[in-house]
Amino acid sequence: MKDEVNIPISVEWTKEEVIDVVNFYEAIDQAYTKGVEKDLLETLYGRYKKIVPSKSEEKQAFKEYEKQSGQSPYHAVKKARESEENIIKM
For the domain that residue 53 is a member of, what is the CATH number?
1.10.220.80
- Kindly state the average pLDDT of the residues 81-89: 90
Among 30, 31, 62, 34, residue whose Cα is nearest residue 48: 62
Residue 4 belongs to a domain = no
- Top pLDDT among 3 and 46 is at 46
Residue 29 belongs to a domain = yes
- CB atoms < 10 A from the CB of 82, how many? 8
Residue 7 belongs to a domain = no
- The domain in which residue 78 lies consists of 15-88
Q: Structurally, how many domains does the chain consist of?
A: 1
Question: By the 8 A CB rule, do 27 and 44 touch?
Answer: yes
- Top pLDDT among 34 and 3 is at 34
Q: What does the pLDDT look like over 14-59, one tens digit per residue?
A: 999 999 999 999 999 999 999 999 999 999 999 999 999 999 999 9
Residue 1 belongs to a domain = no
pLDDT for 3 equals 62
pLDDT for 67 equals 93
pLDDT for 65 equals 93
